């Protein structure tokens, strides 16, 4: 029997400075594990010479290939494309900026050989991130743990190894607003974590703006929970109940002591209050309707502009 094949998926967006240092560290690790490996870069609409650099290394090392998007589709979609193009029996997903130490892949493969179908890197501290981002992440994961449909393992990110069975399962999930961490947990399978320390980003800057992060967080919550949709029913009930109680209070007071209030302030306040609630709940419904719209359109997840090396052989250009 042929030895199992190992694929590494690396989404890249303007990472030209990282390509060479990454390959330098990654390739020896892969060669120690097996000769039958491949690297699938997913060029997520880079505007610098990232793709040219990959093309160069691909010429000397044909096991390195790339799928290049026609524009920036986002990291989540890039991962989906990587999974479509990887042919390995085990597939590793990692960042290009060397924050995910390539040496960890050996530990991942070891656990995989022990029978775990999903091996995720578990970051032990988040001290590399800004305080605001850390706080935001913490709040998000607390919310998700409380309201999400599935538990997410703590500290687990995209850095992980997935068995072919898991990859095939992930590929059947066609949703557009992709929250990979949720999807990894959703497919199940025997999983385990390997702790690692996130390294400093080597070159360039983070590709996540606060706006992108917020979008990402909302996609995550909305894809795996209907609580934002339902919570307004409860709040609505509560508010109505309070309104009835207040009305009763005023009625009794007026009957006993007569009226000394023109009633104008309370009227305005209650009108404003209820319009606020209605607008908010409409907004929430709108978020979900927007998602339904996005799913119903059945647009392809991404459009491939070009292929480099081995990754060129697989599937059609619009997936
Ligand atoms: N990335 C991508 N598309 C994007 C943003 C990021 O493919 O729109 C890639 C990026 O090139 C990197 C990985 O996703 O390989 C992680 O991005 P980054 O390091 O900027 O995120 P952070 O580590 O700050 O969370
Ligand atoms: Mg990074």
Q: How much is the pLDDT for 311?
A: 58
> How many residues are listed for the chain in this entry?
319
Neighbours of 275 (CB within 10 A): 10
Express each pLDDT in 256-276 by its tens digit: 887 766 675 577 667 767 777
* C-alpha 2: how far from chain center: 34
Nearest to 14 by CA among 41, 39, 49, 42: 49
Q: How much is the pLDDT for 254?
A: 80
Residue from 95, 99, 121 to probe ligand 1 pocket by mutation (most atoms less than 8 Å from CB): 95
Q: How much is the pLDDT for 1?
A: 44
User: Hunting for tokens 């070009």 — which residue is that?
Assistant: 306
Express each pLDDT in 205-244 by its tens digit: 776 777 778 878 887 777 777 677 767 767 777 777 777 7
Q: List Cβ neighbours of 52 (8 Å cut-off, separation of 6 or more).
A: none
What phi and psi values does residue 90 have, to the nearest 5 degrees? Answer: -130, 140
pTM for the whole structure: 0.74
Tell me if 74 sits within 8 A of 45, measured CB to CB. Answer: no
Cα gap 278→285, rounded to integer Å: 10
> How far, in Å, are 10, 49, 69 from residue 308 at the CA level?
14, 14, 12
Q: How much is the pLDDT for 155?
A: 80
Closest-approaching ligand to the CA atom of 99:
2
Shortest-distance Cα residue to atom 24 of ligand 1: 206
Residue from 71, 81, 97 to probe ligand 1 pocket by mutation (most atoms less than 8 Å from CB): 97
Nearest to 116 by CA among 168, 172, 181, 193: 193
Query: Relative to the CA of 94, which ligand 1 atom is closest?
Result: 15
Tell me if 19 sits within 8 A of 96, measured CB to CB. Answer: yes
Nearest to 163 by CA among 190, 141, 123, 181: 190
- DSSP string of 108-160? HHHHHHTT-SEEEEEES--TTS-HHHHHHHHHHHHHHHHH-SSPPPTTEEEEE
Neighbours of 305 (CB within 10 A): 14
Nearest to 203 by CA among 75, 16, 78: 16
Distance 76 CA to ligand 2 centre (A): 14
Q: Which residues surround ligand 2, an ion (CB under 5 A)?
A: 95, 97, 99, 201
Q: How much is the pLDDT for 81?
A: 93
| Region for 39 from its dihedrals, namely left if φ exceeds 0, alpha if ψ lies in -120 to 50, beta otherwise | beta
Per-position pLDDT tens, the chain of length 319 = 456 789 999 999 999 889 999 999 999 999 999 899 999 999 999 999 999 999 999 999 889 999 999 999 889 899 999 999 999 999 999 999 888 999 999 999 999 999 999 999 988 776 666 777 778 888 888 888 887 778 888 788 889 999 998 999 888 887 777 788 888 888 888 889 888 888 777 777 776 777 778 878 887 777 777 677 767 767 777 777 777 777 787 778 888 887 766 675 577 667 767 777 777 777 778 778 877 877 776 767 777 777 788 655 555 554 4
Q: How much is the pLDDT for 143?
A: 83
Shortest-distance Cα residue to atom 11 of ligand 1: 12
- Burial call 163-183: b when 16+ CB within 10 Å, e when fewer: bbebbebbeeeeebbbbbbbb
Is 206 near ligand 1, meaning CB less than 6 Å away?
yes
Distance 257 CA to ligand 1 centre (A): 67
Neighbours of 231 (CB within 10 A): 14
Cα gap 249→244, rounded to integer Å: 9
């Amino acid at each position: 029997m042929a030895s199992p094949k190992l694929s590494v998926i690396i989404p890249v967006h303007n990472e030209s400075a990282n390509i060479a240092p990454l390959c330098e560290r990654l390739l020896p690790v892969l060669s120690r594990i097996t000769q039958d490996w491949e690297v699938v870069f997913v060029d997520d609409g880079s505007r610098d010479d990232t793709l040219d650099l990959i093309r160069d290394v691909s010429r000397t090392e044909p096991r390195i290939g790339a799928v290049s998007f026609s524009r920036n589709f986002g990291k989540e979609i890039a991962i989906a494309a990587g999974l479509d193009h990887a042919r390995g029996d085990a597939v590793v997903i990692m960042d290009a900026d060397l924050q995910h130490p390539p040496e960890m892949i050996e530990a991942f493969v070891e656990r995989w050989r022990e029978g775990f179908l999903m091996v995720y890197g578990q970051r032990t501290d988040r001290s590399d991130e800004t305080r605001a981002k850390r706080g935001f992440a913490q709040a998000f994961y607390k919310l998700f743990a409380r309201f999400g449909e599935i538990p997410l393992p703590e500290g687990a990110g995209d850095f992980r190894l997935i068995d072919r069975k898991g990859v095939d399962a992930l590929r059947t999930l066609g949703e557009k607003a992709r929250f990979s961490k949720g999807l990894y947990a959703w497919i199940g399978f025997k999983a385990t974590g390997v702790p690692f320390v996130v390294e400093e980003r080597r070159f360039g800057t983070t590709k996540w703006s606060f706006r992108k992060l917020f979008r990402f967080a909302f996609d995550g919550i909305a894809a795996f929970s209907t609580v934002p949709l339902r919570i307004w029913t409860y709040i609505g009930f509560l508010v109505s109940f309070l309104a009835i109680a207040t009305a009763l209070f005023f009625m009794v007071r007026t009957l006993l002591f007569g009226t000394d209030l023109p009633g104008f302030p309370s009227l305005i306040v209650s009108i404003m209050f209820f319009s606020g609630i209605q607008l908010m709940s409409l907004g929430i419904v709108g978020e979900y309707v927007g998602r339904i719209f996005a799913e119903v359109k059945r647009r392809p997840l991404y459009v491939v502009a070009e292929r480099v090396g081995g990754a060129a052989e697989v599937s059609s250009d619009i997936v």
